[in-house]
Amino acid sequence: MKNFFLRARWFYGIGICITLFFLSYGFPDLLYWAKLILFLFLIISILDYLFLVFTDKNIEVERHVYETLSLGDHQKVKYDVTSRVKWPCRIEIYDEFPSQLQERDFKKKMLLKGNSSSDYIYPIRPLRRGIYAFGNINVFRSNIFPGLTEKRKIVECSEDVAVVPSVIQMKKFELQVFAKTATMAGIRKIRKIGENDEFEHIQAYYQGDSIRSINWKATSRKNQLMVNKYQNSRSQIIYSIIDKGRVMKMPFNGLTLLDHSINSALVFSNIVLRKHDKAGLISFGNKIGAVVKAEASQRQLEKINKSLYAQKTDFLESNYELLFYQLRALLRRRSILFFYTNFEHMVDLERSIGYLKSLNTKHLLVVITFINTELGDRASLQSQTKEDIYRKTTAQKILVDKEKIVNMLRANNIQTIHTRPEDLNINVINKYLEIKAKRLF
């Protein structure tokens, strides 16, 4: 009985028949027809019910969802519906979605022909990391004719799916960085400083290659332009440092700044490893969180991804002093540090600038701060009321303070990326490629 539920649609017809039956006492000629109509309704409903019960196994519904979902990306859930019944039927699908998706109105109706199949794709966008529990699928089926009853079938297909830092973005930017058309995707091609890199191989000339690197001997042999390729300096130690303090709880486009930083750290670490450098990870709040020592091993990206998956923010102030001593004990050689954080007030920066300057002296520090796009929109609106004027003035003041913070960082010779959350990945990658090309380390 667990998988059985009968939804009767014929009670309206019975109500009409019963009403007609009682009215027929005043009209004896209608008594016979009222009884006949009521009897026919009952017989047809019973036959309709029996047909649904005995053909229940001939309806199949399958859900297809990725083994892991990427945080913040648009993905899809696919449903395959198959009918091996010879007659057409109506199908309604109600899926038990995870509570994190907040999908409470999911319903799909479809009309299936006899011995046919159909599919349906439903878009989703997970906004939190963690385990998403998909439940069973409830399928309501009725015959096109007479369609007086409807039977529910529960397809037991519950499964748990992990939502992890965006693997989709990681693969997307990997393709963009190493493609010949990288500039079309926003990846800046930066001229390398110096010509002392180690020779790697000879390849055909592509648009954008340096003319100075043309190998004329190889060109004459191949009868096409050939260029020398040099490998960049390798085995640099590069860490992604993620602030988990209260300032990273701010939401933008459905994700917190921490989630944007986590996605970016995964994308960036993958590029670093593909460039044959050593990638590492450190997270901190009021205490040190994850520490993944920089390596260039094949499993390093998997270690970083697992550590990023478990990161959570809190509502406490970040301890920069603790971070400084942790890095001093961990890093024995000069390294490149990409520091994801956010300063909303000058006071916050003034408390931490001493530690940042000390880190920048021993290492190459790149501080990544975020542009508050919502404040920018508020500051550009026209004011019509006193309340609008107050909000606009406040927004403009905060934006001015933000510019002062960025200028103060740069005045102390600290590399700074001031970016919108949606442009975070591309700006971080470009800064890394710039550092590599200009040998700023």
The pLDDT value given to residue 27: 65
pLDDT at position 181, please? 54
d(C-alpha 362, C-alpha 331), whole Å: 10
d(CA 301, CA 347) in angstroms, rounded, equals 36
Other Cβ atoms within 10 Å of 41 Cβ, number: 19
Q: What is the pLDDT of residue 193?
A: 42
Indicate the range of 206-220, 270-284, 311-325, 403-417 predicted with least confidence. 206-220
Cα gap 173→168, rounded to integer Å: 9
Which domains, from first to last, does the chain contain? 1-163 (2.60.40.10), 167-173+234-438 (3.40.50.410), 198-231 (no CATH)
The predicted-structure confidence for 326-340, as pLDDT tens digits, reads as follows 999 999 899 999 999
Reading the block at residue 363, the tokens are 């290492």
Report the 3 state secondary structure along 347-370.
HHHHHHHHHHHHHHHHCEEEEEEE
pLDDT digits (tens, 9 = 90+) for 149-176: 888 999 999 999 999 999 999 999 998 8
Give the pLDDT of residue 2: 45
Chain segment 291-304, per-residue pLDDT in tens:
999 999 989 999 99
* Choice among 15-24, 107-116, 119-128 with the minimum mean pLDDT: 15-24
Residue 4 has pLDDT above 70, yes or no: no
Percentage with pLDDT > 90 across the chain: 54
Cis before 28? omega within 30: no
Of 33, 7, 5, 2, whose CA–CA distance to 20 is shortest?
A: 33
Q: For the residues 428-434, what does the mean pLDDT come to?
A: 93
Give 121's contacts (C-beta < 8 A, 6+ positions apart).
76, 77, 78, 79
CB burial of 429-441 (b: ≥16 within 10 Å; e: otherwise) equals: bbbbbebbbeeee
Strand order in the sheet with 278-284: 288-295, 278-284, 237-243, 336-340, 364-370, 415-419
Alpha-carbon span 40 to 17, nearest angstrom? 10
Residue 71 has pLDDT above 90, yes or no: yes
Phi, psi of 230 (to 5 degrees): -115, 140
First to last CA, the chain: 70
Asked which of 28-42, 153-167, 413-427 is least confident by mean pLDDT, the reply is 28-42
